[in-house]
Structure 1
Amino acid sequence: MRILIVEDEANVRSFLQNAMKALRRGVKVDTANHGADGLKLARRQWYDLIITDYHMPKMDGIDLTFTLRQEGYTMPIVMISADPIVEPYALNAGANLFLAKPVSLENLRYMLNVFGL
């Protein structure tokens, strides 16, 4: 299984990366610190799951999600944000799930189970 985490906050990015490795043995996790880099990675490598923050420099999570969906990518995309008002916009852009920050290990376990990963 391969996961892409797109998050501009280093501590959150590190937490998500370590949590994924703890929850699923052998998972490969790539990271990007803004949406534009996340888009480049997603275009080069197939991912079983993308976790993206909403608010980031260069390209936010809504634009990243919308662009991937417009280009035909079908992998699950999970949007995270400390601002719950983002949820309907995330889902409308094509995200499969929205998680409010702070994201817990239990939230991430639930997310993986929802997608059968």
Structure 2
Amino acid sequence: MRILIVDDESSTRSTLQRLMAKLRNAKIDTASNGADGLKLARRHWYDLIITDYHMPKMDGIDLIYNLRQEGYAIPMVLISGDPIEGYAMSAGANLFLQKPIDIDDLRTMLDRLGL
């Protein structure tokens, strides 16, 4: 399994990376903004993309929307402290997770996505 985590906060990236490593034996790549996440997603095949909403250069909604427009059908999850679940889903996210996120949230997310 290969996962891409996109978040501008290094502490969130490292926490998500650590928690996902506990749950799955996965190769995890990270990016600090949506534009770099888009480049990585175009360059590598991922089984899952987890992206924050508020980021510089390109936000998570635009990242998901662009990938969906390009035909990417892989699971994408938007995370945010803002209550924007409807907005996330309309942009093409498979799931929305409200920050702060813990290991139980990630375990439920993986189960719901069948990963």
TM-score with structure 1 setting the length: 0.97
Counterpart amino acid of residue 82 in structure 1 = G
In percent, how many aligned pairs have the same letter? 68
Query: 2 CA distance for matches of 1:87 and 1:9?
Result: 20
The aligned counterpart of 1:66 is: 65
Count of residues in Structure 1 that have an aligned counterpart in Structure 2: 115
Deviations 1:20-44 (A, max 9, x none): 11111x3100000000000000000
1:89 is displaced (CA, Å) by: 1.0
RMSD, aligned CA: 0.6
Query: 2 CA distance for matches of 1:57 and 1:32?
Result: 11
Corresponding residue to 2:107 among 103, 106, 109? 109
**Gaps (5+ residues) in structure 2?**
none
Query: 1 CA distance for matches of 2:48 and 2:68?
Result: 13
**Gaps (5+ residues) in structure 1?**
none
Deviations 1:59-97 (A, max 9, x none): 00010000000000000000000001x211110000000
The aligned counterpart of 2:31 is: 32
Query: 2 CA distance for matches of 1:16 and 1:44?
Result: 22
1:116 is displaced (CA, Å) by: 1.5
Corresponding residue to 2:89 among 80, 84, 91? 91
1:57 is displaced (CA, Å) by: 0.3
TM-score with structure 2 setting the length: 0.98
